[in-house]
């Protein structure tokens, strides 16, 4: 597990003190005026609001908290793809999200916070500005966002502007926003090293969707490991699935039709690996005697299928626990610190679906 802090230089944020100096009034009066206090004359309120708008003032989280108090509510948002096509509740996705959600909820509850779960689409956060609106309305003390999509995350600029307690899980999207993720590159490399150590030279990769960050990192890790170990690097040995069992079942047929089929297949998740094994067995290819198969995630199905599936175990509960702990730290310290980025190391679990070449 590695952690690092970072802080990117930005234009200085306008403060209540700047407005007070401009109007030659006290900071307390400015604060009361911005909170629509009856203790401040209407004319003064109007002047304060006008100047605040002119200079682009945005209240930060800690200042706003002093006036509104705590809500004891932390948002847990899942960014679930395109509107109307959210796949987070599919079996393959739920087995990924469930340990994270359980750990976050448990950690927050232990510290007296409630967890507000929301599933949002890319369109909702980028065009409808859902997250910006929630942060702006002040109903939450902090937020965790679970992501997978390779998209433009500039919609999170408000997090830095408001100094709002915020953690991204499953990716590192900005040097200024704390994150906790799993080192997919390392996991993919360990799989390739394991297979190469068994004598496999022609290894295929059945990856996840092209626009998925986890899939991209595993695919990149696979490619780098293949090249570093001087194995057969053939574009025909890479296919793109959708995380579901049926895509593994269908796409493995492409590998079987090659003039020189692979002796091992690394699938980017367990569901696709199980689908691939099913197709191989139906085609009369023995696993692992003729073709070794590896998955990723270490879901409980790995020990139900026959042969038991070699895979990579992700510390998903630890990801959730550390993410919740980081957002609580930001809330309790009540001051802006450099972002902390944690990259967790997964574990290769060797079972019965991989073996050395026997032919």
Residues sharing a CB contact under 8 Å with residue 13, sequence separation 6 or more, in sequence order:
58, 60, 161
Q: Quick check: 6 pLDDT over 50?
A: no
pLDDT at position 55: 83
- What pTM, to 2 d.p., does this model score? 0.79
Whether 68-181+316-345 and 184-314 share one fold: the answer is yes
Tell me the pLDDT band of 8, cut-offs 50, 70 and 90. very low
Q: What is the mean pLDDT of residues 323-337?
A: 86
Per-residue confidence (pLDDT) for residue 61, from 0 to 100: 53
Q: Which CATH class is domain 13-57?
A: mainly alpha
* Domain 184-314, CATH class in plain words: alpha beta
Among the listed ranges 78-87, 124-133, 141-150, 298-307, which one has the minimum average pLDDT value?
A: 78-87
pLDDT beyond 60 at 106: yes
Question: Is pLDDT at 89 greater than 80 in this prediction?
Answer: no
Residue 84 pLDDT more than 70?
Answer: no
Model confidence band, residue 161 (pLDDT cutoffs 50, 70, 90): confident
Cα–Cα dist 92/71, whole Å: 34
* Dist CA 270 CA 285 (whole Å): 19
> What are the domain boundaries of the chain?
13-57, 68-181+316-345, 184-314
Residue 70 CB partners (closer than 8 Å, separation 6+): 141
Tens digits of per-residue pLDDT, 224-261? 999 999 999 999 999 999 999 999 999 999 999 999 99
Domain at 68-181+316-345: CATH code: 3.40.50.2300
Task: Tell me the pLDDT band of 5, cut-offs 50, 70 and 90.
Answer: low
């Amino acid at each position: 597990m590695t952690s690092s802090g970072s802080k990117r230089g930005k234009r200085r944020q306008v403060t209540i003190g700047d407005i007070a100096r401009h109007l030659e009034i006290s900071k307390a009066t400015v604060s009361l005026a911005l909170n629509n206090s009856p203790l401040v004359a209407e004319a003064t309120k109007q002047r304060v609001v006008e100047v605040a708008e002119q200079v682009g003032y945005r209240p930060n989280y800690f200042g706003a908290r002093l006036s509104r108090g705590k809500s004891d509510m932390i948002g847990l948002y899942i960014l679930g793809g395109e509107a109307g096509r959210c796949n987070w509740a599919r079996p393959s996705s739920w087995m990924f999200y469930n340990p994270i959600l359980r750990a976050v909820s448990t950690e927050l509850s232990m510290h007296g916070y409630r967890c507000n779960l929301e599933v949002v689409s890319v369109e909702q956060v980028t065009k409808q500005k859902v997250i910006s609106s929630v942060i702006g309305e002040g109903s939450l003390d902090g937020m965790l966002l679970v992501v997978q999509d390779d998209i433009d995350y500039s919609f999170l600029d408000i997090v830095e502007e408001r100094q709002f307690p915020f953690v991204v899980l499953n990716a590192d999207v900005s040097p200024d926003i704390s994150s906790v993720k799993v080192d997919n590159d390392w996991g993919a490399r360990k799989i390739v090293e394991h297979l190469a150590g068994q004598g496999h030279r022609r290894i295929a990769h059945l990856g996840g969707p092209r626009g998925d960050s986890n899939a991209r990192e595993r695919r990149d890790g696979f490619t780098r490991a293949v090249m570093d170990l001087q194995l057969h690097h053939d574009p025909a040995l890479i296919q793109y699935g959708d995380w579901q069992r049926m895509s593994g079942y269908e796409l493995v047929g492409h590998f079987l039709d090659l003039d020189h089929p692979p002796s091992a297949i690394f699938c980017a998740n367990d569901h696709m690996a199980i689908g691939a094994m099913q197709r191989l067995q139906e085609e009369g290819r023995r696993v692992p005697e003729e073709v070794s198969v590896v998955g990723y995630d270490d879901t409980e199905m790995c020990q139900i299928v026959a042969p038991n599936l070699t895979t990579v175990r992700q510390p998903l509960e630890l990801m959730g626990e550390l993410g919740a702990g980081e957002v609580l730290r930001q809330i309790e310290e009540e001051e802006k610190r450099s972002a902390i980025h944690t990259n967790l190391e997964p574990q290769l679990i060797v079972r019965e679906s991989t073996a050395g070449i026997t032919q």
